Amino acid sequence: MQTVELETKSAGRYAYFAAQDAAVKSYAASTHYTSQQKLNAERKKLVLEMAYYGEVHINYRKKFVALKVVNTNVQNRKLLAELEQDFAEENIARVITAQGIVYRIPKN
């Protein structure tokens, strides 16, 4: 599995508007995915919620679906190891940021 670390910056006092913009862009990008691709992302989200203690958010992008894990405390290490092995076989990248871990599911 590919692991990349990114440096990100806070939106500061514009965080509310940045979140609204991200939600609109995510919805617009989600219209380009099939219902099967959306269901696949939702299933992976549910499994990640079983592996981590924190919340998992789905964000649709032009070239991939991002599954962002906010709290990165591991709940089930065995499940996470199996999941990341499956993710490696499916060419899903893991990106580590200051806000959490993002799993990128490429658009087929």
> Residue 59: what pLDDT?
95
Angstrom distance (rounded) from CA 59 to CA 66: 5
Q: Is 84 in a helix, a strand, or coil?
A: helix
∠ CA(102), CA(104), CA(108), 5° rounding? Answer: 165
- Per-residue pLDDT of 66-102, as tens digits, reads 999 998 899 999 999 999 999 999 999 999 988 899 9
CB 67 within 8 A of CB 48: yes
- Per-residue pLDDT of 2-40, as tens digits, reads 666 666 666 677 888 888 988 999 999 999 999 999 999
Entry pTM: 0.84
Which residues pair with residue 5 across a beta bridge? 96
Phi, psi of 99, deg, nearest 5: -80, -20
